[in-house]
């Protein structure tokens, strides 16, 4: 049973990290992208697939991605957005 839980956790974290790495979504809708990352991270914690330290790590990564998006958008000419 524990192996199955490990697989579910690994798959869920993989899905979360894939969303995090979706640069197109991040740069076209940074707020919505960030909100989805937070929702999924809290969901993983709520169903106890991750502990609070892991949740904190995911939240930090989501916030860093949002900061990155804002920095990138400052450097993209308006006509190219």
- Name the band, by pLDDT with cuts 50, 70 and 90, for residue 66: very high
* pLDDT 10s digits, 10-25: 999 999 999 999 999 9
Q: What is the pTM of this model?
A: 0.87
Share of the chain above pLDDT 90, in %: 81
The CA-atom distances, in angstroms, between 47 and each of 5, 16, 71 are 11, 15, 34
Identify whether 69 is part of a domain: yes
Q: Count the Cβ atoms, other than its own, within 10 Å of residue 5.
A: 11
Question: How many structural domains compose the chain?
Answer: 1
pLDDT band at 78 (very low <50, low <70, confident <90, very high): low
Across the range 28-50, mean pLDDT stands at 97
Domain region containing 62: 26-75
29: left (phi over 0), alpha (psi -120 to 50) or beta: beta
2 domain residue, yes or no = no
């Amino acid at each position: 049973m524990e192996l199955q839980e490990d697989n579910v956790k690994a798959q869920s974290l993989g899905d979360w990290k894939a969303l995090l790495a979706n640069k197109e979504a991040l740069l076209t809708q940074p707020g919505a992208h960030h909100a989805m990352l937070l929702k999924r991270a809290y969901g993983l914690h709520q169903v106890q697939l991750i502990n609070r330290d892991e949740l904190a790590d995911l939240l930090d990564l989501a916030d860093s991605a949002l900061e990155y998006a804002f920095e990138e958008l400052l450097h993209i000419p308006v006509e190219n957005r």
